[in-house]
Structure 1
């Protein structure tokens, strides 16, 4: 009897199936098979937080596939990922099967493995366990929390702050961090200070620079030289002094390697070194974990990539140490293996760090089978893992003090020399901006000199500086900050940052987060009325409680009850909250942002249109805007900006691209049930038949990068490309159901994915039509309507065509020999409508001919049928079906593709 194994992804299933052999059937669940329905009541606090689960179409399909495989099987093995989410997926699969009573007589086991290799899979199968209830409870608590916060707080936002989109338990705290950093930058006032640096020459004619640290016997702090006059006085004093080497300090320091990657540090380092977003990093790491094809076998290259742990398996450490000895020599391998402990708050070290599954698979050895992103990320992981077990680097640090004979004026130069490179031979860790200047000073080499050496002063400069505001968060620094304060989990950081951008709460510029006005409004609202729930301390303490649940130290119902009692009471207080209270709070909080001080000192809130008006924040039906206190008498208003200056007052799933230069109408990017499209203008409420112009966006085009010019081009389709050089007939280009095409008369030619329908030229269009034209021959025009009559190759032989009417050629006749007269005779004699064309009309005509013959019989039958309830129902169903069919036909795209 076969055993059925369930994993998350098809790629993982394929690999594991190869390892396990024919006695096992491995099926993918495609992630979660169930989730909470997106509606109120899915989590019920009054029923001890009972939850209703819903299986979507894909989940139902996978459950059916698993159920089918279980027929005749003796065992179900749940082998999803070795973390909380993986445990939850396994629990959902088992629960869904139990509800359908499909597990009778079938043993259920849970196995986990940290890497997808043959040995790891074999070892896991020998050590099955039951589902981890505390991990499942932790999942339930998190899911319930996120649901209740989202479905309770978001409607409050919609009612009290129109134009906002959603709030989330961790998402809102991350947004607050970004907004508060921006507020710090806005109120920051640069302070001037000066420094003095000299260029000196040693007796051996080597140059080096040193900075002034003491003047007139006093140590200089950052602002000791506050202006140009003071700095120039100090500069002149140094220039006039006879300087020599007063003191040389040397010491050897050791620099230890960083630990192997966790989820968080991988995201940070990939951002700093590779420029990868957190989302791209995790997607690429997933691909490396699930495996690539090596010599005809799918092999996982790295261990599981969602982890807080910094330890590695003993066998892996030994293999890495062996590789270091072989590749670098024994001097680079420490006497004992290195051990690491994480410093992150709330870290769970149940899993290994991220490492290569086999250190002998060097980046160069597998480069040929990897994509560019996979190659770069694998190399980063491989080098970091190997370097973490290498010998420390040794540096000789030197500090040289130079001054006059009285030691009243002193300057200092620092530098270092690498005495032994150690792990630096393989890997140098990336740094944040604030660390780079310090590194430059430390890594500088100083020339040889001795105490007492007289120095020649070549030049002394005084330089002006200004203090800098704190830097905006990058993805790397924000992830680092979130991990430090203990909010969220590293495995969720990528999705949190993605949601903030998708909601248009923030944007990325030069790889730095900048909050949009919409994001700042939401943060100001939440900090004003829900301060506790966007407080980093509270959110971190809640994370600790959730970790206690996963470790079995707390009951998830108790944690939820304590949270919900206070949270629901806070939400209830907002029911009586007036819009004016919201406006006042937001106006006070964001006043300096919307109305920054003017250089001339005038009131930035003074209305330019009326004498006594004061500008302030206002809330309208579609969102916030800036307006005069005398509104609506005074019509001075200004929209808040987002998306590079466009109006925020747009519904979800819509983005304003600009205005049509010809009509002045808005051109918007929208998401419909079948994907992205652009639209010009809005429907006319008085003329329901008139619809705004719309155009589908090609599948290969990124909607986020779509420009106004491209949108106008799409809305202008189909466009004229030019006349065919042989026939003179106009060729047009357009978009159909199956992609871009070119058309000449009734002849269509498909375009490849590399063709741009907006810019395709005449030569390419002629080439695209050539294949179709080779199978078509024009005979002339029909004498009745002037339309073309053609003969073309068909699936069952050549045929002639006039519009939607076709007639096959007699057997043996060639399409090259037939004349226009013969074609017209064939069409008159045995012409039939093209499928999907005149078929409906023909059927109606045929029906009319037979109606008279059957009228009497039908009248008799209809009288009998009228007395039967069953017949009435059947008739009604038939009418409904007929109506549906008619509606469907009317809505069909009239393009041939």
Structure 2
């Protein structure tokens, strides 16, 4: 048994480090977190100082047992989990488990930290161990407790007032609010017309266009001209005044420096990977994790290629800067190296425990040298990290901007600008991407012909162009991460999970790489913004993050922070659970009146999604209202009265087939075709408003054919059947489903065999309504003994089903509570 045990999170990380430490060490992985709060209410107890009840995570129990077994025989134990709050918490949980089992008696247990997985970094870390940092653990526990209390208390309010199965998270909810508010801005936006005027000039050496900046002696601004008639009149005045040429009145030239962007933090890496590589935040972090944990580089072995990728810091170590400067001098010349290293300061108040920025572990490993060892995603991301880090230590770019003023007579003026690069500096390696481009970026790269005051530039034509103002753009992943960071909401490790949760809950959808809130998402956001304003307020959330940072620095105790949050929060939850009207919470919207019946038409959010209603939905209404689900792509916030009335044209009668009426309708579970008593769901590609008779009959007969072939074998006097299912043959009595041995031919099974198999392998049949009936058939008369047996089977199945439902309900509630937004 090795003398020393070192514990990390991931097996890939363990494999790499194991090669560096030699035979005196055994390196094991915890596979992430090893404990979590118990999945039930009371896991965090505000009455007992917010005491937290933990339990082993089931999927990692075997890894914990392996660690415990190795710890029993080890002389020293080292905890080398990731260098952030989550990593510190994992180390603390592992230590607590070992301590509770009496495996630390008389043994040194120490924490080691490194931000890159290289032999040098590991060796350095092992010579400077420390104790577990209690402030970092406290900050992580406080965050986990806050998220738990918000989820377990706020989610049930949403279930009762909006829709079952919803969740609310402490950080997820402000992020959702951002997306929803942007959508509301877009809907409220009213486009304004405006006109621009440009002159196309024919200089002998190069044609160029100049934009109008002065009209009739006045500065020409965006909304100076707002209609075509005025624009044409102005254009004609300009043509007349120019008389075939524009006069150069002034030429100015100005040099400026542009500094390189700092090396990557987590958020800027996610933003730039989205802009330049088209990566989602989740994909970026997954690829970065692999680059950090290690890649096999041929004879060199497995090496971590980038430093730790969860960081707010833009700082680089002295050694890293020295190596980068050497690479710059070697590959781009000594003139590209500044006299002194470039120093960057983080905007974050608590730059991820003073880590370095994301950088290559060795700048000497150029993208060209390691590309053959990397998959495409890893190659592209490594190249991005390498170029950004190297460019950050290069000289600024020197740009020259030339602006030329051109006159059309004495009352009108045009201007053209061009920017050229005199010295590329860092631009020889890397240029930061932008979400939107301004006029300055449009001018870059445009080289103007030589001109001087007094020159007359031949005029080809003057044209006026119509434009309309555009609404603010919807958030992309990059711009949402940027906004969250600017507001101080969340931390580097949470951005990807925030976005993943919003998508998983279907609160938002990504269309053309932009976030669109769903009707459910808007209802949740509106409810929280209206009734829990403080807790989705951007400033409040940011201040809470600052307080958690203060805990991580040891400047504040975590329990008083929790007490300040909990009391008013719980009081508000209890009040809103009783006082809020559900119709208000679901965002009911009146559209107008149905011309046929004179009844009101409204849209609202129901249990199964948004729907339209004709008539009053009040419980005491005399006439029962008519309901119709909204179609895919329709929103209850933008649907018109006309489109809503179209929904009520269902069901559509398509005609007769074999003497039976065929129709198409939309039910609670989606669109369907019907012939007689047979229903068949439409496919995703079928539009219920356009499906014809032929297609409907095809779907119905397809279903009937499947049903005919479903029964493999039946047994007289028994309700047990051998059936074809989605995943192969199985046994069912309508209450329980049983497995068939792989070596048995399903059709050859006897009644005794299926009865025994059902007893041994039977599990409650599950379906749309919580149970799944067997294929319908005419039941034969059964002997009394069989009836008794059937009742007993049903009773057992019912009992088992209740247990299963209870477990699933508890798990669902826990999942909602664990959602950090």
Residue 735 of structure 2 is matched in structure 1 by none
Residue number among 269, 273, 296 corresponding to 2:272 in the alignment: 269
Do the aligned partners of 1:197 and 1:209 also contact (CA within 8 Å) in 2?
yes
Q: Does 1:360 align with 2:361?
A: no
2: distance between equivalents of 1:39 and 1:645?
Answer: 38
2: distance between equivalents of 1:327 and 1:712?
Answer: 70
Matches within 5 A, 1:394-543: 394-404=398-408, 406=410, 408-433=411-436, 435=437, 438-543=440-545
Residue 391 of structure 1 is matched in structure 2 by 395
For the residue of structure 2 that corresponds to 1:470, the secondary structure is coil
1:415-450 Cα distance to aligned partner (Å, 9 max, x none): 1111111111111211112x2554122332211111
For the residue of structure 2 that corresponds to 1:90, the secondary structure is helix
Q: 1:470 to 1:838 in 2, by over 3 A?
A: closer
Quote how far apart the aligned CAs of 1:549 are.
Answer: 0.6
Residue number among 549, 555, 558 corresponding to 2:557 in the alignment: 555
Residue 129 of structure 1 is matched in structure 2 by 130
Gaps of 5+ in 1: 596-603, 649-658, 670-677, 682-689, 694-707, 721-732, 740-749, 751-793, 795-800, 806-832, 842-878, 889-897
2: distance between equivalents of 1:389 and 1:61?
Answer: 47
Matches within 5 A, 1:268-417: 268-295=271-298, 297-344=301-348, 347-348=351-352, 350-404=354-408, 406=410, 408-417=411-420
2: distance between equivalents of 1:738 and 1:387?
Answer: 62
Quote how far apart the aligned CAs of 1:100 are.
Answer: 1.7
Residue number among 577, 594, 610 corresponding to 2:579 in the alignment: 577
Q: 1:22 to 1:569 in 2, by over 3 A?
A: same
2: distance between equivalents of 1:397 and 1:349?
Answer: 42
2: distance between equivalents of 1:635 and 1:446?
Answer: 73
Quote how far apart the aligned CAs of 1:606 are.
Answer: 2.1
For the residue of structure 2 that corresponds to 1:247, the secondary structure is strand
1: distance between equivalents of 2:449 and 2:145?
Answer: 65
Number of residue pairs matched?
699
Quote how far apart the aligned CAs of 1:170 are.
Answer: 0.6
Matches within 5 A, 1:135-284: 135-163=136-164, 165-202=166-203, 204-242=204-242, 243-284=246-287
Quote how far apart the aligned CAs of 1:225 are.
Answer: 1.1
1: distance between equivalents of 2:4 and 2:507?
Answer: 48
Greater RCO (Cα-Cα under 8 Å, separation 6 or more):
2
2: distance between equivalents of 1:189 and 1:387?
Answer: 43
Quote how far apart the aligned CAs of 1:57 are.
Answer: 2.1
For the residue of structure 2 that corresponds to 1:450, the secondary structure is coil
2: distance between equivalents of 1:711 and 1:67?
Answer: 59
Quote how far apart the aligned CAs of 1:94 are.
Answer: 0.7
Residue number among 590, 593, 607 corresponding to 1:606 in the alignment: 593
Matches within 5 A, 1:681-720: none
2: distance between equivalents of 1:469 and 1:556?
Answer: 43
Residue 113 of structure 2 is matched in structure 1 by 112
2: distance between equivalents of 1:227 and 1:491?
Answer: 51
Quote how far apart the aligned CAs of 1:621 are.
Answer: 5.2
Residue 616 of structure 1 is matched in structure 2 by 602
1: distance between equivalents of 2:625 and 2:183?
Answer: 27
For the residue of structure 2 that corresponds to 1:498, the secondary structure is helix
1: distance between equivalents of 2:70 and 2:631?
Answer: 51
1: distance between equivalents of 2:634 and 2:479?
Answer: 27
Do the aligned partners of 1:639 and 1:647 also contact (CA within 8 Å) in 2?
no
Do the aligned partners of 1:517 and 1:642 also contact (CA within 8 Å) in 2?
no
Quote how far apart the aligned CAs of 1:640 are.
Answer: 6.3
Q: 1:200 to 1:125 in 2, by over 3 A?
A: same
Q: 1:455 to 1:151 in 2, by over 3 A?
A: same
Q: Does 1:627 align with 2:613?
A: yes
Q: 1:454 to 1:618 in 2, by over 3 A?
A: closer
2: distance between equivalents of 1:108 and 1:33?
Answer: 18
Quote how far apart the aligned CAs of 1:615 are.
Answer: 3.0
1: distance between equivalents of 2:699 and 2:84?
Answer: 45
Task: Please identify the structure whose Cα radius of gyration is greater.
Answer: 1
Q: 1:630 to 1:691 in 2, by over 3 A?
A: closer
Gaps of 5+ in 2: 638-650, 655-661, 682-695, 710-723, 731-741, 759-791, 802-821
2: distance between equivalents of 1:106 and 1:710?
Answer: 70
Do the aligned partners of 1:78 and 1:90 also contact (CA within 8 Å) in 2?
yes
2: distance between equivalents of 1:345 and 1:663?
Answer: 64
1:344-384 Cα distance to aligned partner (Å, 9 max, x none): 46544611000011112111211122111111111111111
1:276-302 Cα distance to aligned partner (Å, 9 max, x none): 000000011001101111115211110
Quote how far apart the aligned CAs of 1:626 are.
Answer: 3.6
Q: Could you state the TM-score of these two structures normalised by the residue count of structure 1?
A: 0.71
Quote how far apart the aligned CAs of 1:608 are.
Answer: 4.0
2: distance between equivalents of 1:494 and 1:326?
Answer: 37
Aligned residues: CA RMSD? 4.0
Q: 1:574 to 1:429 in 2, by over 3 A?
A: same
Do the aligned partners of 1:43 and 1:50 also contact (CA within 8 Å) in 2?
yes
Do the aligned partners of 2:4 and 2:24 also contact (CA within 8 Å) in 1?
yes
For the residue of structure 2 that corresponds to 1:251, the secondary structure is strand
Residue 823 of structure 1 is matched in structure 2 by none
Residue 810 of structure 2 is matched in structure 1 by none
2: distance between equivalents of 1:269 and 1:260?
Answer: 11
1: distance between equivalents of 2:518 and 2:372?
Answer: 42
Do the aligned partners of 1:516 and 1:641 also contact (CA within 8 Å) in 2?
no
Q: 1:157 to 1:584 in 2, by over 3 A?
A: closer
Matches within 5 A, 1:495-894: 495-579=497-581, 582-584=582-584, 587=587, 604-611=591-598, 613-618=599-604, 620=606, 622=608, 625-631=611-617, 637=626, 644=633, 736=727
Q: Could you state the TM-score of these two structures normalised by the residue count of structure 2?
A: 0.78
Q: 1:164 to 1:401 in 2, by over 3 A?
A: farther
